[in-house]
Structure 1
């Protein structure tokens, strides 16, 4: 089975020395390069926790080193490995609409709301930004195989944590069961085929 990339995806709003952590997602699978904030599996995490606090510190350090201080929204992808949590990608701007909509359903607010507050009333933003978000309805975003064998997007939002966690776990298992891609340079049209000869 091919390895399933695991990581964290953070959406934030920055305003000079202040910041708001809008959502922390546990993600699996590689993001689509055309839509960087879209992952095959994403599970919304509570704001507080040892892993989440480490992730926030890592994300803020990476943003500051890149000179990103706001005002405005940003997203950070973090890789989670045996060596710890490390930055994988940084993007300035709003998160993908799909995750923002799920965040709004789960928390009652999203990154766009906080970005608007930072622009409209910086003092109010600074006062409220440190308040941790509360997950009212656990949520997950998934890409599940459809009848045609192709991945189809699905969302799970429920008052109980079990449905979202169960759906996310199933999506990760499905990712792990995908066949490994064929080695480069081999013709896989027929069993036992040998590497194709190059043209002169």
Structure 2
């Protein structure tokens, strides 16, 4: 594809990996070509396999020199530039601001990636936030933890996919988690020089997926998650259920999420916000200034007819249409659940003997295989090690709930043939 011949306006996407790999075809359908910008020459393996080069007129690779990257982008005269995956958020801020297109700017860019700064920025804006500390040494961390056992969460300052997250209930567990994290590389290839420790928030966890245009926000979809204590992990994601757009919980979550977006300067583009609803009200887990991951918007689209992906494209290509529809509630005409299957052991996967039983469920919509027969299966301990995601969709909520419970039951002895 050649933009000079097509004469179509161009949208630049920084790191169009994972779910963001589905943005370019939608921009094409809206009459735009797409330019890909790589924030690093060699993207992390977790992202690289999802890239679709045929969707782009060209790829520009950032090699550390912003002026050089801008010089390579400017001939395409992009009308918009946005982040795709998490690793592209900061570069997208720099480039979009320099190009003079819609941008979240660079003033709060670090707070949108650094989880410690994120929480402190939210707190400074008057939004209730979790108690935390950034510790580069063990003594500082243990002083914060105190003499009384309590549950806390340790995580890398910059990462994604729940990589490196540890739940600790004793000082000994805190010491071990600190030792495992400091000096190690995150899933995104970033060296952990310090550890972020936070109080453990009691309550159910939710996702609020939004798209913003000039500081005005749209809730595209809300999800309630379910977690299990399994494989040595206190809170391992087992599934997520699509919620109606309105209700006492939803209204509270949306209002809080909007205050977080405002505090972090997320004025344009998609955002994925994870919250817990505690006895004291909503509290932020983290926000990503990009589309929701794990292909969840594809399930949203199957249930609602459109998702955060479509709303993102609408905001950048037809702002008037976005604003005209922004306040409308989405109708929950079909219910949806994403089931995260959990592998109990590691080894070479020979087969999924009960996969046909999953496919036979009345609400079965799709299965996203992350590990195929013949490949190495890892014991599931984080977002990187789920063997598959099962998408369920049906008009009747009870059918989806029944099939969700059945899938959870099947995901046990005999589901994995491993040697």
**CA distance in structure 2 between the aligned counterparts of 1:5 and 1:153, rounded to whole angstroms:** 24
Select the residue among 216, 225, 236 that pairs with 1:18: 216
**Aligned ranges 1:147-158 → 2 under 5 Å:** 152-158=388-394
Once the two structures are TM-superposed, the CA of residue 153 in structure 1 deviates from its matched residue by 2.1
Q: Is 2:290 the partner of 1:93?
A: yes
Runs (4 or more) in structure 1 with deviation over 3 Å come to: 2-5, 144-152, 166-174
Single out whichever of 112-121 and 159-168 deviates more from structure 2.
159-168
Which digits, 9 at most, give the CA deviation of each residue in 1:22-58, with x for residues without a partner?
100001238xxxxxxx942100000010100000000
**CA distance in structure 2 between the aligned counterparts of 1:5 and 1:167, rounded to whole angstroms:** 25
Alignment-derived partner of residue 164 in structure 1: 400
Select the residue among 108, 112, 116 that pairs with 2:309: 112
- Show structure 2 runs of 5+ residues with no match: 1-166, 168-199, 229-235, 344-351, 353-376, 381-385, 411-419
Counting helix residues as a fraction of each chain, which structure ranks higher?
A: 2
Change beyond 3 A, Cα 1:58–1:139:
same
8 Å CA contact 1:40, 1:171 repeated in 2: no
Change beyond 3 A, Cα 1:79–1:133:
same
Q: TM-score, normalised by structure 2?
A: 0.36
Select the residue among 306, 324, 332 that pairs with 1:135: 332
Give aligned pairs, total.
166
Which digits, 9 at most, give the CA deviation of each residue in 1:38-97, with x for residues without a partner?
942100000010100000000010111111111x10110001222221111100111125
Bigger relative CO (Cα 8 Å, ≥ 6 apart): 1
Q: Secondary structure at the match of 1:134?
A: coil
Q: Secondary structure at the match of 1:40?
A: strand
Change beyond 3 A, Cα 1:43–1:62:
same
Larger Rg, first or second structure (1 or 2): 2
Alignment-derived partner of residue 260 in structure 2: 62
Alignment-derived partner of residue 270 in structure 2: 73
Single out whichever of 139-148 and 111-120 deviates more from structure 2.
139-148
